[in-house]
Structure 1
Amino acid sequence: MGLEWDLDTIIAILSIVVPLAAFGWEFGVVGRKRLGYRVQMDTLATDTAHAPYAGVLRELDDDHGSTLTDPSFVLLRIENAGWQPIVEGDYLTSESDKTGIRVTFQHRRVAGAVVTEPSQPELRDFFTEDVGGFGYGEENGAGLIRLPKVKLNRRAHYKVLAVLESTSGDQRQDFPDPVFRADVSGGNGRGLLSRFVKFKMARTESHRFASRPGWVFVTLLALGVLIQAGTLTLSPEPPPKDCVGGTLHLHGSTAFEPAVRKAAEAYRARCAAAGVRIPVTDDTFRGSTEGLTDLDRAGKDAGIEPGDGLSDHLAFSDGKALGNHPRLLSRPLAYLPYTLVVNEDAGVENLRAEEVRAIYAGKVKRWSEVGGSDLPIHLVSRHRGSGTRTALVERVLGRREPVAPTVSDCTALTPAAWGACEVGTTGTLLDMTAAVPGALGHSEVSSAERQDGVVLLRIDDQEPTLTGVEEGDYPYWQTEYAYSYGRAPDGSIAQAFLGFLTVEAGRETLGPYARLCSEVDKPGLCEPS
């Protein structure tokens, strides 16, 4: 299995590489030969405004007996800040030049200098007249201290105390920092590394942690850790194991649409980290028959061979599919109640089953004939093939189709006369029923409950609820089926979504609308007991 180069992997690798590189650079490259220096003191010997008892210091003389002008003390520390010894050959000066380090002071001249506090007494031997290279003077108008090519073992050091005086003619309170000039060869000075790395004299601190490149590496490491911590904190939880990502296309029943929409939203939320896309628009659900036709076409267009299945399409049907669809496989999901809906002006809330059959047969044409208002009845039905219409015909109307429509467009119904029309979707049917006085339609319960201007009718005094279906004699219900083109492949989003609808998560999303088939005694039949 190849390494996946995601952000977490890259940061994790950098978290290992950066400290190793920092260690190698700091101790294997830069730290190998490091000649360090520190200015431990640089202060005026006297200040007439703030040191009234500094008379002796104000009267310091130089070697010629002249009183120094604005004298100052400077204490320098020179040290081996690396892990290898520094020897005479490491100083990048000619063999004839005994001086290894030059320190210059702008606007001051050096009146005297002495070596003090060597880390080992033998270091004093490098500062004798016989060895040479040590002294002080002037260079380009600046005071100069010359230091010899001292051999320094690891952590060895010495200090230089110097007395200087101002040459600027005014009473300065501060002076430019001393300038140190020295290069160290690094021992061999050969190879590819010598082209890119030069070992120069470096300022050190009293509690030195790392050089500037070392600090850069450490800072990068800290940033990497912070980014990785932020990534782990802000990254979404990994998806559950039964989540499958991808795009899933849905088709079918407008009656079952509210339940499927809610289930799709729940699946997207639960499996967001898997990368789920379930596009649902206003025309996604066009009816049971249309949905099955769309699924059949999608499978054929994809060229699915016999024995295989389509992985990214599902259709939902109110009841078993009608027509010839030999490649579609069904799976019962749940049964749910349907309802007759009537315009609130009709003045009825309950009908006997024989009254319903008489109305849809065109034998009863005014609401007053069944105890309602003196308004003509307008039948608003779904087209043939609709699941809610099929269930109405089979379970309520004694397998007799409603009377044929009198107009092709429901908006052409005459308010004062009986009439009938057909529409394509549940949403359109509910809108027309609410808008046309005396209109009667049929719908899935949850959609009808959200529609203003309509009343959900009882049949034989039975409520259009799951309780009415399961414990009473309410006749108007249907089993909802999910269809796939062939068997949905293992590991596909179609199979995962079907599984989601049939387990606990499905109960949470479909529970308010329907009874899951997995909860009844005979799941394969999926009917009220």
Structure 2
Amino acid sequence: MDWLTAENLIAVVTALLGVLVSTGAVWYERRVPHQRRIGYRVQLDTAIGTRAAHSAVTGPGGTVRRGFFNATPGLSDGTLVLLRIENDGALALTREHYTDGDDHGLTVVFGTEEPKIRRVKAIVVTAPDHPGLLTHFPDSWDGPADGATSIVLPKVPLNRGAHYKLLVLLTGGPIGSPVSVHGNIAEGVVHVNHSTTPDDKPPVFSRVARNVTVVLTLCVVALAAIIVREQTPPPIGCAKGELTVTGSTAFAPVVRELAKKYEKDCEGATVRVEAHGSTSGIRRLAEEGAKTAQGSPAVIALSDGRKPGGFPQLRESMVAVSLFTLVLNDGVPVDNLALEQIRRIYRGEIKNWGELITSMDQPILLVSRDANSGTREVFQRRVLGRNEPANSSLDCEHSNDPESEVVRCELDSTEQVLSTVAKLPGAIGYTELRDGTGLKGLHRVAVDGRRPVLDEIGESSYPYREIEYAYTWGEPPADSLTSSFLTYLRWGSGQDVIRTHGHLPCSTPKGLRICGDG
């Protein structure tokens, strides 16, 4: 698989990581914080008795800092604990949300096993930001008994972000002995939290926000490193190899421009354009296909109109609606011919332009394409309603057949027709619309007052138009250069180039209707 490259794998993994992190963050923010939660943490745990002196460090001058309660009876092993209890969830907490019964809200425990058990000597409750919380500690609440190892707290309602603190004087176990808070909260939890210390400023972003920002930043950097690299990866759908596009000379300018664009966009692809006429291209494709034991040869044949009879193995795709036009040497001051006048000229009934312009005496010279030309086939079918007369001239100026009614020559390409008409006085020929513009020495001719106008296709009765077909030998593999270039021709950039050259892409809404009608 061509897409399975290191760069693509990194891009996919990075994109998935970014999606997973973002999804996880949303889930966390939507699910976890919307619980009822009581968080607690110890903000201060320090020795105040003789042990404080034993554990102190030597200060300036060699003196030892000593505890302040050494002389107080029973406090030689005293410790002070400052405990913060807060609602750190997203929902308010009322008395009804405490489910332990009676007036029992939370229980604070100071150690469960000797020698780490500490016993309560005194307690102070404070709520500096929400003094009204203290009213939920009624006068009947006397706190714990002297020597108790736990404190039973009442059911204190807490709005989101509200907190209160307990300053507890303890004896017994050393500082750092476990302090835990227990209780049952309806649809909630009691947990240890890890907020900032009292002297710190709260962070601008939460921990989740910081982590998500870091991960997503890394994802963006990784993707940018892939995008901004020395070699830009080819567009999706590119294929490598060699391809020959043959057939219509009228459509060749479109294909040549697209071949250059494709080779530029898709490294490793070579597209050769060898246009020698629609019928010639169909025959070459059939010959190449017959030589191929299996599969489809790397050849596309373009034809002005459907292929001739036979060739059942060829698969067709409609590409565009092409407009064609008659062109006259500038020495003939005619810019409109009736359809019947054109037919009489090509039947040899009108041999001199003087028959149409009384002040002029100039023989008519018919400059045509050879039998391989799709442009000629369209002209015969759509305009003349019959085949052109036989070839009677080698130099397009003098007749080599004394029995011929007209002077008519055949040339191999559209370019040769255009240059010859521009050079020979009295010459008339035909061409694909785009090729008939911007050339000196000749001009386009309207038919029955109708001119070839791209925007009027489908509404105008202008007869000289045809569908451009692309043929392949059977169905080429989806990952082949043949299939890729055919898609490139019919869609995307191909549509813009086709329209620039004066054709209507079949893949556009209007083109679909007209191409479908044939």
- After TM superposition, the score normalised by the length of structure 2 is 0.53
Structure 1: how far apart are the matches of 2:427 and 2:516?
31
Aligned to 1:316: 302
Aligned to 2:512: 523
Structure 2: how far apart are the matches of 1:522 and 1:260?
19
Q: 1:483 aligns with which of 438, 456, 471?
A: 471
Aligned to 1:393: 380
Equivalent runs, 1:422-461 vs 2, <5 Å: 422-461=410-449
Report the Cα offset of residue 497 of structure 1.
0.9
* 1:322/1:488 CA distance change after superposition, 3 Å: same
1:286-335 residue CA offsets vs partner (Å, 9 max, x unmatched): 0001111111112222323xxx323x210100000114212211111111
Structure 2: how far apart are the matches of 1:238 and 1:458?
48
Unaligned runs of 5+ in 2: 10-223
Letter of the 2:305 counterpart: G
Report the Cα offset of residue 467 of structure 1.
3.0
Structure 2: how far apart are the matches of 1:524 and 1:252?
25
Aligned to 1:379: 366
Contact residue 251 and residue 315 of structure 1 kept, 8 A: yes
* 1:232/1:508 CA distance change after superposition, 3 Å: closer
* 1:466/1:232 CA distance change after superposition, 3 Å: closer
Question: What is the SS of the residue equivalent to 1:266?
Answer: helix
Structure 1: how far apart are the matches of 2:408 and 2:271?
37
Aligned to 2:489: 501
1:232-273 residue CA offsets vs partner (Å, 9 max, x unmatched): 86623111112112211110000111111122122222x233
Report the Cα offset of residue 496 of structure 1.
0.7
1:272 counterpart = 2:260: no
Report the Cα offset of residue 377 of structure 1.
0.4
Structure 2: how far apart are the matches of 1:411 and 1:379?
9
Structure 1: how far apart are the matches of 2:260 and 2:430?
26
Report the Cα offset of residue 410 of structure 1.
2.4
Aligned sequence identity (%): 34
Contact residue 397 and residue 407 of structure 2 kept, 8 A: no
1:361-383 residue CA offsets vs partner (Å, 9 max, x unmatched): 11111112223742110001112
Contact residue 246 and residue 493 of structure 1 kept, 8 A: yes
Contact residue 263 and residue 510 of structure 1 kept, 8 A: no
Structure 2: how far apart are the matches of 1:481 and 1:5?
36
Aligned to 2:32: none
Report the Cα offset of residue 431 of structure 1.
1.5
Report the Cα offset of residue 521 of structure 1.
5.8
Deviates more, 1:401-410 or 1:453-462: 401-410
Aligned residues: 298
Letter of the 1:309 counterpart: S
Aligned to 2:56: none
Structure 2: how far apart are the matches of 1:295 and 1:515?
25
Structure 2: how far apart are the matches of 1:251 and 1:524?
27
Question: What is the SS of the residue equivalent to 1:339?
Answer: strand
Letter of the 1:459 counterpart: V
Equivalent runs, 1:183-198 vs 2, <5 Å: none
Report the Cα offset of residue 479 of structure 1.
0.4
1:407 counterpart = 2:412: no
1:458-505 residue CA offsets vs partner (Å, 9 max, x unmatched): 111111222343332211001000000111111011111111122221
* 1:469/1:233 CA distance change after superposition, 3 Å: closer
Aligned to 1:466: 454
Contact residue 248 and residue 493 of structure 1 kept, 8 A: yes
Report the Cα offset of residue 409 of structure 1.
4.0
Aligned to 2:258: 263
Q: Over the residues paired in the alignment, what is the CA RMSD in angstroms?
A: 3.1
Q: 2:233 aligns with which of 238, 245, 253?
A: 238
* 1:390/1:520 CA distance change after superposition, 3 Å: farther
1:336-393 residue CA offsets vs partner (Å, 9 max, x unmatched): 1100011111111111111111111111111122237421100011122421111111
Structure 2: how far apart are the matches of 1:394 and 1:527?
19
Aligned to 2:408: 420
Contact residue 327 and residue 429 of structure 2 kept, 8 A: yes
Contact residue 462 and residue 468 of structure 1 kept, 8 A: no
Report the Cα offset of residue 523 of structure 1.
3.4
Contact residue 246 and residue 275 of structure 2 kept, 8 A: yes
Aligned to 1:344: 330
Structure 1: how far apart are the matches of 2:313 and 2:464?
30
Contact residue 264 and residue 278 of structure 1 kept, 8 A: yes
Question: What is the SS of the residue equivalent to 2:302?
Answer: strand
Letter of the 1:321 counterpart: K
Structure 1: how far apart are the matches of 2:330 and 2:229?
52
1:253 counterpart = 2:248: yes
Report the Cα offset of residue 447 of structure 1.
1.1
Deviates more, 1:491-500 or 1:515-524: 515-524
